[in-house]
Amino acid sequence: MFLTQQGGFIIRPIANLFGLIFGLIYDVFEKFGILSLGLVIIVFTVLIRLCLTPLMFKSNKASKITNYIQPEINKINKKYKGKKDQESVLAQQREVREVQEKYGVNMTGSCLTAFIQMPIFFALYRVIQNVPAYVKQIKNLYSPIADAIKNDSNVVNELNNFKKLDEYSNYFRGLGDASSDNVNGIIDILAKFPSGAWDKFSATISNSDVLSKIAENKDKIIDVNSFAGGIDLSVAPGMKLTAALAIPICSFVFQFLSMKATPQQSTGDPAQEQSMKMMKSMMYVFPVMSFFVTVSVPAGLGLYWAAGAFISFLTSVGINAYFKHCDMEKIVEKSKEKAAKKIEKKKASGKKSFMDKITEAAYGNQEAANTSKVNSNVASQSLKSYTSSTMSKNNGNVKYREGSLASKANIMQRYNDGGDK
């Protein structure tokens, strides 16, 4: 049953937290006589976006710094221009990455905000898909009706027959039949009622107690799920030309404006430039995708998506305006100093980053430990002519990982020196 809260070890606790926050916001509005799930969603969205603003600021800052240090990256690209062999490509990527690390630029930072938003979206989907399961105050609106229905088996049967009608079957897809011993199952069905279904269901039953409870609570339920004068947030807008279609349209427009206002980082790294091209294409694909998603999910979830995109757009504009009036030299210098401390701390700890391990796999243990000294030689010379102090005949104590580029270069050096002739 939907009231049995679902989700994995990540989604479920987030959904429960969201339900608690929803309840607190709902309480505030209820004290002022306002019953509106839409306003609760908008206020909730503002809170979530405020929490994500530091990440957006950090991502934008990295983008500004990357553009500022672009001349250094261009020198590296010019150095390896036209070189397509694997060693040169790896060396170019490594040197670009070293420049980025020197100034504290993290290329994965811009993706972090998007990754964080995914569990938020899925958790929020569970909450809005069945608000009574997570917001006790709204569940209490349905409970008196459900309790009255469960006491009359004839009304339970009428409810099951009603949800199978062609006119309403889509609203109850995935739900089991109601039963007299499961109040939550009855609430699950009632929570899917579109606003116009209440009167039609009432016309099919004669139990005065059930009719009385419906009359007492249906207006409150309709008010809670209604937004902007008639949009039912519990129902997917679909492709029908109704007021609810404004939510997917707004989602499309705001998503496009938000992505347009987000600065794109130009790194000069061929591999990363390919990723940036994909990001630019997503600027057009993602808004279209958001339109079709918000058309097919409950309008409440679409409202969160549209409101979030609008707030992201405003945030991006504000952050861009902030950096436009900042002294970038001071920002870059401060970032450089912070990065230097981080690098020293990393060296002291002896820990290796993911990229360090990739370098080690490509160049061998010895070269990975002395990256800054020998990488340029590896990149610019052929394997046959490559020489290094670590590969002299007398340096027999150095051990290379079998199959690495370093071991192959060492074999060739020994051959050139006559060691294996």
**Could you give the CA distance from residue 386 to residue 372 in angstroms, rounded to a whole number?**
16
Q: Are 339 and 103 in contact (CB under 8 A)?
A: yes
Q: Is pTM, for the whole model, over 0.85?
A: no
pLDDT of residue 391: 42
Q: Are 110 and 265 in contact (CB under 8 A)?
A: yes
pLDDT of residue 57: 83
Q: Which SS3 state, helix, strand or coil, does residue 179 take?
A: strand
pLDDT of residue 381: 38
**Could you give the CA distance from residue 410 to residue 383 in angstroms, rounded to a whole number?**
9
pLDDT of residue 234: 80
What are the phi and psi torsion angles at 194 (to 5°)?
-70, 160
DSSP string, 263-280: PPP----HHHHHHHHHHH
Q: If you search the block for the tokens 């097919």, which residue do you land on?
A: 296
**Could you give the CA distance from residue 400 to residue 363 in angstroms, rounded to a whole number?**
9
Q: Which amino acid is at 27?
A: D
Q: Which amino acid is at 333?
A: E
Residue closest to 370 by CA, chosen among 402, 406, 394, 338 = 406
**Could you give the CA distance from residue 172 to residue 139 in angstroms, rounded to a whole number?**
18
Low-confidence stretches of the chain (pLDDT beneath 50):
1-2, 4-5, 267, 271, 365-398, 400, 404-405, 419-421
3-state SS of 232-260 is ECCCCCCCCCCHHHHHHHHHHHHHHHHHH
Residue 159, classified by CB atoms within 10 Å of its CB into exposed (0-12), middle (13-18) or buried (19+), is buried
pLDDT of residue 66: 80
Which letter, b or e, does each residue of 356-375 get, where b requires 16 or more Cβ atoms within 10 Å of its Cβ? beebbebbbbbbbeebeebb
pLDDT of residue 377: 41
**Could you give the CA distance from residue 199 to residue 325 in angstroms, rounded to a whole number?**
59
DSSP string, 116-172: HHHHHHHHHHHHHHTGGGT-HHHHHHHHHHHHHHHT-HHHHHHHHHHHTSTTTGGGG
pLDDT of residue 83: 83
Q: Which SS3 state, helix, strand or coil, does residue 387 take?
A: coil
pLDDT of residue 87: 83
pLDDT of residue 106: 67
- Any bridge partners for residue 232, and if so which? 226
pLDDT of residue 358: 56
Q: Are 386 and 378 in contact (CB under 8 A)?
A: yes
Q: Which SS3 state, helix, strand or coil, does residue 59 take?
A: helix
Q: Are 365 and 400 in contact (CB under 8 A)?
A: yes
Apex CA 127: angle with CA 259 and CA 188, to 5°? Answer: 140
DSSP state of 231: E
Q: Which SS3 state, helix, strand or coil, does residue 294 take?
A: helix
